[in-house]
Amino acid sequence: MMFHSRLSSMLNRHYSTKLTHTDPTTGEAKMVSVANKNITQREARAIGYILLPPETYTLLEKNELHTAKGNVLGVAQIAGIQAAKQTSQLIPLCHPLLLDKIDVNLRLAHDRVECESIVRCQGKTGVEMEALTATNVALLTVYDMCKASSKKMVIEGIRVVEKSGGKSGSWQWDS
């Protein structure tokens, strides 16, 4: 119960009291206009991880899980980068953005592969969705490439942990 109260407190800070992607009268979906927004440096960082069974983790740790599709973490990194560039094609109301930087980093940590994605652009809207998409797809790629070893993997903890730029300024997930 304490967790939910704390989470609710964190989630209710610095936010609008209305949904921006729906018409307030009809509830119909709409794309937000960014016509009058200023172009600013925008950056977002998202993280997540995939829990692995011990035998799958060991294969990755020994770098023995080179599948027919290639090296797992290398392919997952490229998949995350590609996904960030395709976000507006996957999420219906996202604006297409010209991205300046996409970093997707994966690393082995105890019983999991952790992923951190950082996306940056000069634009009129934020890049949180691009960072989240990169992290999600990178971790899905790890699952895809490791499923021959085991299907008992769980993707968790995907979230934006930091963003900067735009009218709302900087924001960081308070741990």
pLDDT of 153-172, one tens digit each?
A: 999 999 999 999 988 899 99
Q: What is the pLDDT of residue 19?
A: 77
* Annotated catalytic residue within 100, 103, 111, 144: 144
pLDDT tens, residue by residue, 18-60: 777 777 778 788 788 888 888 999 999 999 999 999 999 998 8
Kindly tell me if the per-residue pLDDT of 61 is higher than 90.
Answer: no
Helix, strand, or coil here: 125?
A: coil
Mean pLDDT calculated for residue range 106-133: 96
Q: Which of 62, 5, 46, 10 is nearest to 138 (CA)?
A: 46
Dump pLDDT digits (tens) for 64-100. 556 555 689 999 999 999 999 999 999 999 999 999 9
Kindly give the residue spans of alpha helices, DSSP state H, lying in the chain.
2-11, 54-61, 72-85, 87-90, 128-146
Name the token pair of 83. Answer: 């996904």
Q: Residue 64 corresponds to which amino acid?
A: E
Which amino acid is located at 39 in the chain?
A: I
Pairing of strands 66-67, 70-71: antiparallel
Per-residue pLDDT at 68: 58
Residue 103 a catalytic site member: no
The pLDDT confidence band at residue 62, using thresholds 50, 70 and 90, is confident
Residue 52, class by beta-carbon neighbours within 10 Å (0-12 exposed, 13-18 middle, 19+ buried)?
Answer: buried
Place of tokens 């105890």: 110
pLDDT tens for 133-149 read 999 999 999 999 999 99
Interatomic CA distance for residues 163 and 171, integer angstroms: 5
Output the average pLDDT for the chain. Answer: 88
Phi, psi of 21 (to 5 degrees): -100, 15
pLDDT reported for residue 174: 87
pLDDT at 1: 47
